[in-house]
Structure formats: structure tokens, C-alpha cells
Amino acid sequence: MTNRAAGKQQGAIRPLKLRVGSMGYVLAHPDVERISYAGTKTILDLDVLVWAPGLLLSEFMTYSDGTFQGLSSLNDDHSHNLERAVTRRRHEMRQFLEMGRTMVFFVPAPREVYVTTGHSYEGTGRNSRRINHLTPFKLLSVIPFDLRTVAATTTAFDLVAGPPFAKFWKAHATAFSAAAYLDGSWGTPTVRIRNTDKVVAAVANIDKSVVLALPELFQGVADDEDEDQEGETETATASRAIAQAQRKNPFFIDLFELIDSLRGGSVSDLPTWTELVRLPGEDGLLDKVNVGRRKLSAAAERVAADEHGLAVLRNRKAMFAGQGPVLETLVEQAFVALGGTVTSGAPGRTDRIVNFKARVAVVEIKGKAKSAAEEDSAQLEKWVSEYLISTGVQAKPILVINAWRDVHLDERNKDPFPDQMLPYATARNHCLVTALQLLGAWLRTEQDPTTVDEIVATLFETKGAFSLFQDWREFISQATVLTLEDRVLEEGA
């Protein structure tokens, strides 16, 4: 079925005033011409080019291509096809911009692949082998103007532009998912990553043309109504998903209305000397803008600091849901908060040595899917004995276990230290404490530093299971989860 026939089935679609081509995405409009980057169809007869550079490489890659140093590596044919296409399209796009046409492009991440530039042979006869000569190819090199990006995926945005862009963005912000932000100064920013100065959308005048940069389209907005196409490429899959979304949402209509407005002169680069000329009310508005920007910057810094603090605090949840180095590091931090000095055991061992002034403890740390076992105490006893032999000091054995780490706290109804291991541990003066209890101790000392001595004394006096902070509800609260009805009422309030 042709694009025009498909358009008739979708209902009355308003014809476009402009001649539009799309390279990468499929825009579900009968007047939008689909153009392959690798193809020979020119863009010079278009008024508007809508381009997704992030999908370009998939036109030249197949499963027959390999990898090198973790990056995709194109074979001879695909490498030469890419080189020829880039040479031709870059020149054509420069001409397109010099002619005063309009380009809309979706900001790509700075992806790299290796391309084959030639080959040679090493050895002779049966020992001969072919050596491929590879060189990196940067996706951003296909852009016909200076552009640098930094990979950053997000759907959290702040609109920073007024009309006509604001009208378009407010209607379709959920259609976008950024793959990168613009690195350095480029054009007039229209959208930033939320609470940052990182620009993901902008408008610029290049040569005689208006160039609109947008985040990549969010493929997940589409329900897959069409049957899967066997052997379909990444480009085709993404484009089909976008087209399905647009059949339900007049994205392209609003996009081209925005383009009409931009082409009408709403974006312009004035000479720098005009900054020295003031219109009535301009100084006042400029002062307000500058004050607002300073406040926004200060607020962004406070939010960034709070977000960092939140991430550090949330990381402590690994003390009841983690294992390995993350858990071990947090346990070390907890003992430091209790006034201890922590050092690692001998090379190749998993214990920690914790000094509390005149007292010393040997600590074994483990995150387990089930409960602790007698073998864990046996391992701890081995470390304590070796410490005694090497130093002549009898250390306090402390076993820290994050038991049942994959089970929700509400559902942890089994003992972390089963009865059968208690006689062995008690007879050897082991203190058995869960990482969750140690977290409770850590939080308590932050709230009330005067409790440190009592908690440390209890750790050293305990033979068997540690008695403090056994009920996690005393120091951890449950989050309130709103139902859909509650959310609707809250948002409507």
C-alpha cells in the first residue's frame, strides 16, 4: 500500500503546504516522502528534511558484521557503502542549508563503529592470513555542521522556550526520549534536562536555514498493531512504531505547523550591536530574567545536593537487600559511624578488623539468600584464631549477615540465625548480628550520638544473637503508595 493510499484509510488528513521528506523515521502522513540515507533520492527538491541520524548506521549493518574492541565492525562492502553515502549526503545537506531550506533532526548519541579501510596478508601458503585494516567512524561526522553531543537518556525535561515552540512541546512532550544532550553552545535552547542546564532541544539559524534540534522520538508510545515483520531492521522497527503512534496522535501536523511558524521568521539572529539598543521595558524584563536565572541556578544546585544525599541514603538499603562489595562497604561505614577504625584482613580473606580504642573485633560479612549457617561461624572462628596467632590479641568475633536478602522485609518470618548454629556460636563468644540490625544502630547514632557507647558495649558483650534493633519497624517506615483513584483526586485537588 502506498503512503497516499494509507493516508486515505486513516481519514481526512490535512495536506501539507511544504514538500517534506523523512530520513530515518516514518512519519505517518501521505505527503511525507520516505528517503533512505543510502539511497540516491535527492533532498535538494525538499522544503523540509526531517532526519534521525541515530538510525543511520542500521542501514549499513547486518548480522554478518562483526565486532572489534567492543564496537560494531562493518565489513568491506558495508564500509565502502557508508563512506560513499556520507560523502554524497554531507555535500548535499550543506547545499540544502545554503538554499535556505528547513531541517529537523533528532539529537543522536555520539556512537562509534569501526569501518574497514583495506586489508593485507600476513605469511605465505597455508600460513597466510588476511589482516583487515580498521578505523573508527564517528556518527556525528555525518552532521553537516559543527555539533557535539554527550550520551544521556532521559524523559525528564524542562521547557525553556515560549511560543510557537512551547505550544508544540506541551502537546507532545511525552513523545520524546532524549538519547543525548548538546555539548557546548548551539542555537537557542528550547528544552533542557530537568533541573539542569543540559540542552536537548534547540533552534538555530545555519547559513540561510532554520534548523530545529529535538530529542529522539520515544518508540514506546506505540502499541504494536501491525504484525512483526520477519527480518525487519532496527530502522524499520523503530520507524513502524513511530508511525503507529502518530496515527493516534497528530504529532506530524503540529510539527509542521511549528515549522511553518519558524520559517515565517520567529527565529532570527540579530547583529550584536542591537544588544546596545533598548526598547521600552527591555531593561526591566532583562533584570527579571537575570534574577530568575540566578534563582533557578541556585535552586538547581540545592536540588543536585539533595539528590546526591538521597542517593547516598538510599544506597544504605543494600544492608537489607544487597551482598558483596556494596554490602561490605556499608557495613564498614556503619562501624566507622559507631566510632571504629576498619582495616581489611590478610590478602585473600574476607574479614575486617575493627578497632574501638582498647577493644578489637574480627568481623565476617555475608549477604545470603537464606539464613546464616554454622559454617559461617566456623569461617569467622578461623579468622579469629589466625588473628590471635599473628597478634597475640583475642579479638571479639562478630558475624554480620544479611539473611533472606531477596525477601521483602514484611515477609521475613524466619530466623536469620537458626537454632542449630547458636550453641557453636555462643560457646565461642560470637556476636551474631544482621546487617539490618547494624543499619538500625547506625541510624540511631546519627539521631543520638550519645547512644554509641551503649551499642558498642552490647556488641562486645553479646554471646549469640544481638538483642538490639530486632524490629525493623522501629527505625524504618513503609512508603505510602497511592492508588490510581487517590492520584486522580490528589492531582485534581
| Cα separations in angstroms, 271 against 61, 189, 265, 268 | 45, 19, 15, 10
This prediction has a pTM of 0.48
Region class of 184: left (phi > 0), else alpha (psi between -120 and 50), else beta: left
Distance of alpha carbon 85 from alpha carbon 207, whole angstroms: 23
Distance of alpha carbon 395 from alpha carbon 406, whole angstroms: 32
Which segments of 45-144 does DSSP mark as H helices, in order? 76-98
pLDDT tens sequence across 189-232: 999 999 999 999 999 988 888 999 999 987 543 333 333 444 44
**Dihedral pair phi/psi, residue 71, rounded to 5°:** -115, 155
Q: Where along the chain do its domains lie?
A: 3-267, 277-305, 318-474
DSSP class of residue 428 equals: T
Distance of alpha carbon 60 from alpha carbon 82, whole angstroms: 6
- Beta-strand relationship, 351-356 and 359-367: antiparallel
Tell me the chain's radius of gyration from C-alpha atoms: 32
Cis peptide before 449 (omega within 30 of 0): no
Number of neighbouring beta carbons within 10 Å of residue 214: 26
Number of neighbouring beta carbons within 10 Å of residue 121: 9
- Cell numbers describing residue 478: 513503609
Which amino acid, one-letter code, is at 229? Answer: Q
Q: Which of 57, 151, 63, 152 is nearest to 113 (CA)?
A: 57
For the domain spanning 318-474, the CATH number is 3.40.91.30
pLDDT tens sequence across 73-103: 888 788 888 888 888 898 889 989 988 889 9
Please give the torsion angle defined by the CA atoms of residues 292, 296, 299 and 304, in that order, rounded to the nearest 10 degrees: -170
Reading the chain (493 residues) residue by residue, the pLDDT tens digits are 334 443 434 444 556 667 888 898 877 677 788 899 988 888 888 889 999 998 888 888 765 567 777 788 888 788 888 888 888 898 889 989 988 889 999 999 998 888 887 766 665 656 666 667 788 889 998 999 999 999 999 999 999 988 889 999 998 998 899 999 999 889 899 999 999 999 999 999 888 889 999 999 875 433 333 334 444 444 455 445 444 444 445 677 788 788 878 876 443 445 556 767 888 988 888 888 778 767 766 776 777 778 778 888 888 998 998 888 888 889 999 999 999 999 877 665 657 899 998 899 999 999 998 999 999 999 999 999 989 998 899 999 999 999 999 898 988 889 999 999 999 999 999 999 999 999 999 999 999 999 999 999 999 999 999 999 999 999 988 665 444 445 444 544 4
Distance of alpha carbon 474 from alpha carbon 479, whole angstroms: 14
Q: Which of 158, 206, 164, 209 is nearest to 181 (CA)?
A: 158
Each residue of 236-245: b (16+ CB within 10 Å) or e?
ebbbbbbbbb
Q: Which of 191, 187, 190 is nearest to 205 (CA)?
A: 187
CB 117 within 8 A of CB 62: no
Which segments of 99-187 does DSSP mark as H helices, in order? 165-172
